[in-house]
Structure 1
Amino acid sequence: MALEILTPESFQTFCEKVQTKSFMQSLEMAELLSRRGCKVTYLGLRHGGNIQVAGVLYSLPMTGGLHMEINSGPASLDQKYLGQFYQELQNYAKTNGALELIVKPYDTYQTFDTKGEPVSGEHTELIQTLTKLGFSHDGLLTGYPGGEPDWHYVKDLSGLTPDTLRKSFSKKGRPLANKTASFGIKIRKLKRDELHLFKEITAATSERREYTDKSLDYYQDFYD
């Protein structure tokens, strides 16, 4: 089973069948990457006549070759085909001049509660699938390595209404939310020519939190 290059339409059709995937694996993000100077390729692994795994691979020139990366992917209908996909991805990268190949899967390695206590086991097989093929694992990192978080905080909104939402916050969160509400702060959607206001805030935050911010033209391309 070799990888095949998919059309954007075929990739989109496949993604509509996948239950869980990141917005990073979408036609819109692929267009943004192209605007930022990346070469974008839609790759898929077919078995039994159907695409089982697919991802957006982007390439950038670096000294001596190409940097290739799949960010927050690939997406899959059946994870048993991931190993074969990664192996064929290595072959594709070598054949097409990659000096560096990075894969950042979107799978959940472990789940914790709001107190930081684990509520699930570690899915070590997710890492082993890659390391058995010769990939190196950077470890489970904190902060914003490379400007991207490895941890996602997800709140279950099931059964909540605007009236009960604030009551669902933690003991620390409720008074903070009430205090903020007393300030009369309003949220509005910015226009494209106002994105410099957004950039001023992200720049200040990145300096305070010590991570690399994006450029203004990046946010303009993202807005478009």
Structure 2
Amino acid sequence: MLFVNLTPEEFQKFTHNHFSHYTQTRVNYDAQHNAHLLGVKDDNGEVIAAGMFTEARALKFFKYFYSQRGPILDYNNIALVDFYFSSLTNYLKQHNCLYVLLDPYILENLRNADGEIIESYDNRMLIRTLEKLGYIHQGYPVGYSKTSQIRWLSVLDLKDKSEQQLLKEMDYQTRRNIKRTEEMGVKVRQLPIEETSRFFKLFKMAEEKHGFSFRDEPYFEQLQRDYQGYASIQLAYIDLTEYVRNLQQKLDSLNSQMKDVETSLQESPNSKKQKTKQTQLNQQITSTQRKIDDTNKTIDTDGSILDLAAAIYIYNDYEVYYLSSGSNPAYNAYMGAYKLQWEMIKFAKAHQIDRYNFYGITGDFSEDAIDYGVQQFKKGFNANVEEYIGDFIKPIKPGLYRLGKLTGKL
């Protein structure tokens, strides 16, 4: 085996043929200024391991290396693991590295949406091997962190399932909400980068609701540029003028039906069937008229086009990732978030992508969890929870690394 710097073409070919995260892609590498493509080739010159490592300054004079959701290799092949990471240490020493961080895309447990383990993966041999090589496993944290990738992901398996089957397997209320968005005429379209502000306005509403602060607007603009067509912002919106028009058509039909019922009752005043139908029609007419009146009031105050919800997505050969989103709570009745998810699930199916990744949750499955509502929303789509192995840190210069930690400069 040979530890080598890979060409972008070699890296692209390998990640295309091996399951990998969107951060471990050629398109992400092309957007980086300081990245290393490090791999292993077998005796036949075939690439059998690959990883992208970014570098950044640490303690002014040194470098910190990070492989986000990488590197990509067969972690059950302990000989390969040992060779790759032993060789990596030598490489990092040559590049003035202070320490390196990894968070491999390796499952620890597959759970249902309530947190119950469906399948567990034995990673003890891997952890022992990495620890022998100087890597310190950072444990199995629950919750969100500003210093590491989320360890718990909510993922919907799309493989070999039709749209009809996916709908059928969803929670009844989720399925019903999707249908209602279609009845109301909620639409989804991609925003050009120039309209990122429309997304960001909704995103800020989510920040205020959940009490967090994440990124500024230029970050999301740059993310779309970096991923060159593999990232997009999708907006769910409704045209209230069109909605009122459809409601009016429905009302006209109901009134027409009511005339027929009244005619029938004149002929048969004691018909229970017609009386029941009259009662039902009265309820529907009242409800539809109320919706028309309420919607016209909203048009007067807010305009006819409402931005309901928006999200930024990234996809690769294996997954569609739902990364960050926001919605206007004043318009929750139009359920734009449900329409967004369903349209992007259909996008994944149309592109033969087998996984729809709702992305992070805390891993706290109690009703007191800060993201309990978010978890229930994702659960409604029949997504399972994937718990990942977590972070590994290796100090390449242990003394200086400990000093940096003690002084709080790392």
After TM superposition, the score normalised by the length of structure 1 is 0.83
C-alpha separation between the residues in 2 aligned to 1:85 and 1:206?
41
Shift in alpha-carbon separation, 1:220–1:99, aligned structure 2, 3 A: same
2:13 corresponds to 1:13? yes
Q: Which runs of 4+ in 1 moved over 6 A?
A: none
Partner Cα separation in structure 2 for residue 30 and residue 3 of structure 1: 19
1:38-71 CA deviation, whole Å, 9 max, x = no partner? x011111222232211111100112241111000
Is 2:133 the counterpart of 1:150? no
1:46 to 38, 41, 50: 41
CA drift at 1:212:
4.8
Within 5 A, what are the aligned runs for 1:31-180? 31-34=30-33, 39-48=34-43, 49-64=45-60, 65-76=62-73, 79-80=76-77, 81-125=80-124, 126-146=126-146, 148-171=149-172, 173-174=174-175, 177=178
Cα distance in 2 between the residues matched to 1:87 and 1:26: 24
User: Which segment is superposed worse, 158-167 or 194-203?
Assistant: 158-167
Distance 1:179 1:50, change over 3 A: same
Distance 1:201 1:142 in 2: 27
**Higher RCO (Cα < 8 Å, 6 or more apart):** 2
Q: Any conservation in 2 of the 1:58–1:68 contact (CA below 8 Å)? A: yes
Aligned length: 219
Larger Rg: 2
- Any conservation in 2 of the 1:60–1:66 contact (CA below 8 Å)? yes
Partners of 2:12 and 2:105 in 1: CA distance: 18
Aligned partners of 1:73 and 1:103 also within 8 Å: yes
Structure 1 vs Structure 2 CA RMSD: 2.6
Amino acid at match of 2:31: L
For residues 209 and 94 of structure 2, what CA distance do their matches in structure 1 show? 42
In structure 2, C-alpha distance between the alignment counterparts of 1:13 and 1:101, rounded to whole Å: 25
Cα distance in 1, alignment partners of residues 181 and 119 from structure 2: 34
Task: Verify the 8 A CA contact 2:4 2:39 in the aligned structure 1.
Answer: yes
Q: Structure 2 vs 1, CA of residues 203 and 135 (structure 1 numbering), >3 Å: closer, same or farther? A: farther
CA displacement at 1:97 relative to structure 2 = 1.2
Q: Deviations over 1:138-174 (max 9, x none)?
A: 2222333237321222222245434443331135644
Distance change >3 Å, CA 129–CA 9, structure 1 → 2: same
The alpha-carbon deviation at position 135 of structure 1 amounts to 1.3
Q: Structure 1 residues 172, 5: closer, same or farther in 2, change over 3 A?
A: same
Q: Deviations over 1:47-104 (max 9, x none)?
A: 2232211111100112241111000111125741123212222222222111221011
Equivalent positions of 1:191-210 (< 5 A) are 191-209=192-210
Aligned equivalents of 1:212, 1:5: Cα separation in 2: 37
CA deviations over 1:2-30 (Å, ceiling 9, x no partner): 53111111212222332x11111111111
TM-score when normalising by structure 2: 0.48
Amino acid at match of 2:38: L
Give the residue type in structure 2 aligned to 1:165: L
Letter matched to residue 194 of structure 1: E
Note the C-alpha offset of 1:116: 1.4
Greater share of strand: 2
Identity of aligned residues (%): 24
Segments of 5+ residues of structure 1 without an aligned counterpart are: none
Q: Does 1:186 align with 2:187?
A: yes
Q: Name the SS of the counterpart of 1:99 in structure 2.
A: strand
